[in-house]
A and B are shown apart, each in its own frame.
Chain A
């Protein structure tokens, strides 16, 4: 008995050590080959709210009807908790067979061989990606290998409160503003707003807004060596927003906490600011929150400003599903992803709840379906218009982005509260990037 216990403990410790080493060396296990059959049990992990969980539940019911031998259970968590949990499980080798991923954070998992390459499943036809535009599919590739099948896309745009802007007497913003023109327009809006209402939220600590700023200036965010832009560009970004705050055009710096809170509590959603950047699907949520706060207004959207109006700064983001290396039910996981991406009934049930559907045929079905809510139809239409007009751009995000996102926010706040200079804050960001992107 003692020996058995000791053996089991030894085996456990050895396994723990092996896994730790595997992690440190990053990736070791050979991916399991697919049987080509959907006859196993898998769990699909994703982030979202109960409404999304219900929609996913409907999709799974449809999948079960189409694949009676397969069994899919779900696991849902709030976005930040989801990432925290996934980090621990990825390190411990306990990821679900189908996991929700995003273009902003999947690279580090792919680079550490936590994710299984999906190219063989695409080649064998188990996952059909023929209806996904190649530029969208590209968002799920690292060094040419497909690690994530994009299921939904989102683009961050300038959302503005139509009533507040009209009340200020300023004209509506346009799609072709430069940043200087945008700042002038914000000043004009502010001049006509009642006391306590500000023209805009503060975008400086937002990594996605900063990405738009960098790309709009014709530079890349990241390259092989780390940050691909000059420190001066970051300093200009910080100064741009600090000047506007000094002029009273933005919400006060101490409202940044509200800005980072739940969507419904942000200044734009509470009618305390007239403009803020939002992902397309978030525009409708903001309208609903404004209604609830008794300040109902349409939230319209325009493109993010760019120094060269011919160069789009609307950065496309992608949500998708991946299969981890350790998954032993690859056939079922592949069938589920294929169903999620391509089945029209599933598309109608999911209603683009986590980004606008990437499957163009499913998009059309969703727009044409009489039961599709107007807000969803509007989201799909907006993205299609941007795609058709070529007013979108993509970027790749390296592992370490999460650290940089936190650092950008922290350092801007330090500069805004006068605890450090803009130059020092920008320099500290570059130092942090050297460590995070190493």
Chain B
């Protein structure tokens, strides 16, 4: 099979150049045009990060005469006397803790739903899925009161501890879908070899679920990195601010805004997410393709 593929590719390369297919050409042209449209906001943001605050309404992507790196200098200085690098580190810490917590809790919960027979399993699963439809604002105030009573305000505990309780139903569902696709015969074989649930989970399921775990990790990282509301509510000390909170501090609708700094630091804060996505792109695509999340 490998040889066949190899030959076909070589054959295609070695052959005479094919005549351009007009339909294919048109399709590529359309895709390129769509790509340009989708890339425009990013290109504009990059341009805006390199121009004067006053030229913020310029729709062009080229910085032009007002080219300046002041936005980067000013933005990196941060807000309230805290450098932007600190916010980046804070966001990294929060995102990393959330990733670890979600991987542990969601995979354990998903294993239970996929493999363990317990009473009312379907009902609990339906309730768990039901929490996806619960608007965030419904639980906001009770949650805030609980965390405040526990003395967790101005700490990262409200970000991480709920994740340790497998409250991200989306990821539990994603992993359940993946675990269900793993043949039960493998569990039976492991059980014959003396494995219990934990043994099956760690020795059979987890090694096979790498793509789904990677998808969970990447999405958790991106969600945590971009989360604005939780830090807004729970963090008061600027030393603890995460990137989205710091970015919003650059603007104010009632007075002047530091647009250059905002866009410059937006560019900087995109880089880690972009890096994570590029590094794990293959696993991410594989994970989505094998968990039934494809449209």
Contacts and interface: CB of A to CB of B under 8 A. Distances in A.
A264 B53 contact: yes
Interface stretch (A30-38, A71-79, A132-140, A392-400): A71-79
Interface string B42-83: 000000000011111100000000000000000000011100
Contact of B256 (A80, A91, A264, A291): A264
A74 B80 contact: yes
Contact of A96 (B79, B236, B256): B236
Interface string A4-15: 000000011101
Interface string A274-294: 000001011001001101111
Contacts, number: 135
B256 A43 contact: no
A25 B232 CA distance: 26
Interface stretch (B2-10, B114-122, B144-152, B178-186): B144-152
A281 B81 CA distance: 25
Contacts of A84: 232
Nearest to B137: A88
Contacts of B150: 12
Q: Which of A80, A84, A289 has the most chain B CB within a 10 Å cutoff?
A: A289
A150 to B, nearest CB: 16
Interface in A222-278: 261-265, 270
B54 A291 contact: yes
B55 A292 contact: yes
A94 interface: yes
Interface majority SS (helix, strand, loop, mixed), chain A: helix
B251 A76 contact: no
A47 B254 contact: yes
A42 to B, nearest CB: 11
Contacts of B56: 264-265, 292
A79 B145 contact: no
A49 interface: yes
Interface string A77-121: 111110011001101111010000000000000000000000000
Interface in B112-140: 140
B188 to A, nearest CB: 36
A373 interface: no
A20 interface: yes
B50 to A, nearest CB: 15
Interface of A: 11-13, 15-16, 19-20, 43, 45, 47-53, 57, 73-81, 84-85, 88-89, 91-94, 96, 261-265, 270, 279, 281-282, 285, 288-289, 291-294, 353-354
25 contacts: A11-B149, A16-B142, A16-B145, A20-B142, A48-B255, A49-B251, A50-B258, A50-B261, A53-B80, A73-B236, A74-B80, A76-B79, A88-B140, A92-B148, A93-B148, A94-B153, A262-B251, A262-B253, A263-B253, A263-B256, A264-B256, A265-B56, A288-B256, A291-B54, A293-B54
